[in-house]
Amino acid sequence: MMRRTATLLLRQNGSGVGGDIPQALADVLVCPLSKKPLRYCEASGSLISDAVGVSFPIVDGIPCLVPKDGKLMDQDQKESEDCTRILPTTNEK
Amino acid sequence: MAFLHSHATSFGYKQVPEEQKSKLVGNVFSSVASSYDLMNDLMSVGLHRLWKDRLISKLNPFPGMKHLDVAGGTGDVAFRVLERINSVSHRAMQGTLPYTEEDTQIYVCDINPNMLNVGKKRASERGYKEDNFLSWIQGDAEALSFEDGSMDGYTIAFGIRNVTHIEKALSEAYRVLKRGGRFLCLELSHVDVPLFKEIYDVYSFSVIPAMGELVAGDRQSYQYLVESVRRFPNQEKFAQMIQEAGFARVEYENLVGGVVAIHSGLKL
């Protein structure tokens, strides 16, 4: 069963606060390389693609999802506790 | 080693290695971003507005739609889609519509952040609240960051000739569209009309770069623009490419004798 970015990002308190991803984006955004869901990392304010181990920045509220601007994460970063994984809700596809 | 196997692509009339093209194009648009709108008005004598209007009427936007506009950083097409939807909604107040206006989402994707910032600024100047209906994403037309089958419509206006691999952009467009979704491309194209062609060439190669120099302080970027138009596939060839990407009912409409063409296709 495929998890959508939205299910990985859905928060109970809504969106658009303090660097959160608006629902409209969470609904459709995927990793431009793998086309798989993205995860939002609160600590760095970036979007993480676990599928390829790449992180994409968000600058001035604009997600920068150009493939060549993605940063390869090293093993430490991937396992970092600083990036809170947001739990999926029951609306999984 | 990469040098031995690299492919060249066209950047105006210069042949450049592929990796360089997107960087060079990026520089062009960082340079042109601020005077983009003014130059568009001057070069097309205001006609680009009518061409974009025509693009939107062919799109037939509806309330509740999810629409992706690629390479449309400054928001020209996005605002038109939104305004058309608002006017449709008001007319529909008398009747019943299956979708609500609130579900409408317009995604503006551009490879250049300067263009997107201009668009965001214009959106707030027009009174659009942040994140309401409009989303701004920096991305590559050749590798879109949108889910398969997530969009009702896809437009690209005056952007596809700047893409390094047109086929990739077309297949990405196909991927993100829902079944029944429409692809529309507005682009400068080829003029075959005798005499008019000659006049258009003189205008393109003499007047436009000079205008770029005068207005935007940038002759080179506009020289690139003019050359990129000539290198882009003609109407028939481009229609074929759209078909090869999987689209059905591919057709095109010439405006001003082929100075611009609107190509459209349907994902069945």
Q: How confident is the model at residue A62 (pLDDT cuts 50, 70, 90)?
A: very high
Q: How far is CA A32 from CA A56, A92, B58, B183, B257, in A?
A: 10, 21, 29, 20, 38
For chain B, the residue count is 268
Q: Measure A22 CA to nearest chain B CA, in Å.
A: 7
Is the pLDDT confidence value at B78 over 80? yes
Is the pLDDT confidence value at B226 over 50? yes
Higher pLDDT: A13 or B223? It is B223
Sign of the dihedral defined by the CA atoms of residues B93, B96, B97, B98, in that order? positive
Per the annotation, does B110 bind a ligand?
yes
B137–A27 CB contact, under 8 Å: no
What mean pLDDT is predicted for residues B11-29?
70
Query: Residue B140 gets which letter from DSSP?
Result: B
Give residue B242's pLDDT.
98
Q: How confident is the model at residue B157 (pLDDT cuts 50, 70, 90)?
A: very high
Give the lowest-confidence range in A34-38, A83-87, B47-51. A83-87
Give the lowest-confidence range in B100-109, B182-191, B252-261. B100-109
Report H helices in chain B: 2-5, 18-32, 36-43, 47-59, 76-92, 113-125, 166-176, 196-202, 208-211, 219-231, 235-244
Give residue A21's pLDDT.
76
Question: What is the model's pTM?
Answer: 0.84
Higher pLDDT: B127 or B247? It is B247
The pair of three-digit structure tokens given for residue B231, joined into one six-digit string: 């290198």
Give residue B261's pLDDT.
97
Higher pLDDT: B38 or A4? It is B38
Is the pLDDT confidence value at B20 over 50? yes
CB burial string B72-93: b at 16+ within 10 A, e below:
bbbbbbbbbbbebbeeebeeee
Of B165, B160, B258, residue with least CA distance to B204: B258
Residue of B nearest to A62 (CA): B137
Give residue A11's pLDDT.
44
Test mutation, A5, A7, A20, A28, chain B, max B CBs within 10 A: A28
Is the pLDDT confidence value at A3 over 60? no
Chain A residues interacting with chain B (CB cutoff of 8 angstroms):
4-5, 16, 22, 24-25, 27-33, 35, 38, 59-69
Instruction: Please check whether residue B147 touches A, CB under 8 A.
Output: yes
Q: CB within 8 A of A21, min separation 6: which ones? A: A9, A15, A29, A40, A47, A63
Please identify which residue in the block is written with the tokens 């419509």: B153
Please identify which residue in the block is written with the tokens 């990793």: A31
Higher pLDDT: B198 or A22? It is B198
Q: What ipTM goes with this model?
A: 0.81
Q: Could you tell me whether strands B105-110 and B66-70 are parallel, antiparallel, or unpaired per DSSP bridges?
A: parallel
Give residue B150's pLDDT.
97
Give residue B260's pLDDT.
96
What mean pLDDT is predicted for residues B193-222?
92
The pair of three-digit structure tokens given for residue B158, joined into one six-digit string: 């005056």
Say which of A5, A59, A67 has its CB closest to residue B143: A67
* Torsion angle, alpha carbons of B56, B124, B140, B231, to 10: 50
What mean pLDDT is predicted for residues B33-47?
84
CA B107 – CA B123 distance, rounded (Å): 13
CA B210 – CA B190 distance, rounded (Å): 22
The pair of three-digit structure tokens given for residue A32, joined into one six-digit string: 């431009």
Residue of A nearest to B116 (CA): A62
Is the pLDDT confidence value at B186 over 60? yes
